[in-house]
Amino acid sequence: MPAYLRQKGFADRFGVRLAVRASAVAFLGLALFHSLDRGGHFDDPASPFYNLEGRMAAVIGQSAERIEVRGLSHHKARNVLAAIGIKAGGSMLGFDPQSARHLLENLDWVKRARLAKVYPNGLVIDIVEREPIALWQTEGEFYPVDAEGVAIASLPAARFSRLPVVTGEGANKAAKALINQLDTLPRVKSALRAAARVGKRRWNLYFASGLKVLLAEDDGGAALARLEALDEETGVLSRALRVLDLRQPGRLVLRPVVDAKS
């Protein structure tokens, strides 16, 4: 080491001066950054500082220049990006795909999500949306529900008016089995308008003609098959009937429209 560096206290004084100058530069840099941020220069396309963080991140391959969102049917890619705080061209420095996945799967319309950074400057997002199978009426409101009975409040019910309405306690959870049965019974399915869950045990079905059909607790599938065959033979779903009781196997109880009793 040169003699002048060995002078007593020189190294210490040099280190202190260097630290002070570095701190001053850092302080000025932070003050400038804060001023630009408060002035909106990072978000103003006309500013030379617009998206500075994203442009710096792009240099090291950590900018969201190429974003691919796959699997969407009922939502837009912008809904996904807003949920995870990413914008096109923005920085992905510090972005954690696993944390983002949890954010997405907390949304009522996302069943599963998978995210992956793709170097350089790429992000791929795969979404499995919850697919409505029925409209659940509860407390005066209508909600699309999926096969797991999850209510999708973020989707407007009016968009799914073609789906059957289910109501009653537990109807959202039990809807899947009913819908699966109806998928093999085109005549019944096309005429059905609503289904009410009774005592969390069985269904009452309501048809376009005004007919109410009572299904049994244990053999709903068999009763529906009987109803499909009966309609094919007699057109029962469009006849002037008020109630058709199918709760007893091998027996039909009919109540015509002229009967004033419910």
User: Which range has the worst mean pLDDT, 16-20, 63-67, 199-203?
Assistant: 16-20
Q: Which of 129, 155, 185 is the last residue of a domain?
A: 129
Q: Which residues pair with 69 in a beta bridge?
A: 125
| Cβ atoms of residues 77 and 64 within 8 Å | no
How far CA 259 is from CA of 223, 245, 256, in Å, comes to 24, 15, 6
Other Cβ atoms less than 10 A from the Cβ of 250: the count is 5
Q: What's the pLDDT score for residue 66?
A: 85
What pLDDT is recorded for position 56?
A: 41
Pair (115, 17) in one structural domain: no
Residue 68 included in any domain: yes
Residue 106 vs residue 64, higher pLDDT: 106
Give the lowest-confidence range in 3-7, 119-123, 213-217.
3-7
Domain endpoint, select from 80, 101, 129: 129
Pair 108, 150 in one domain: no
The pLDDT of residue 119: 82
Burial of 114 per CB tally in 10 Å (0-12, 13-18, 19+)? middle
Structure token pair of residue 35: 């001023």
Range of the domain at 33: 3-38
The proportion of the chain whose per-residue pLDDT surpasses 90, expressed as a percent, equals 55
Tell me, what DSSP letter sits at residue 151?
B
Distance CA 92, CA 125 (A): 14
Q: How confident is the model at residue 1 (pLDDT cuts 50, 70, 90)?
A: low
Same domain, residue pair 106 and 158:
no
Q: Does 252 share its domain with 147? A: yes
**Which of 107, 129, 151 is the last residue in one of the domains?**
129
CA 148 to chain centre: 13
pTM, full prediction: 0.70
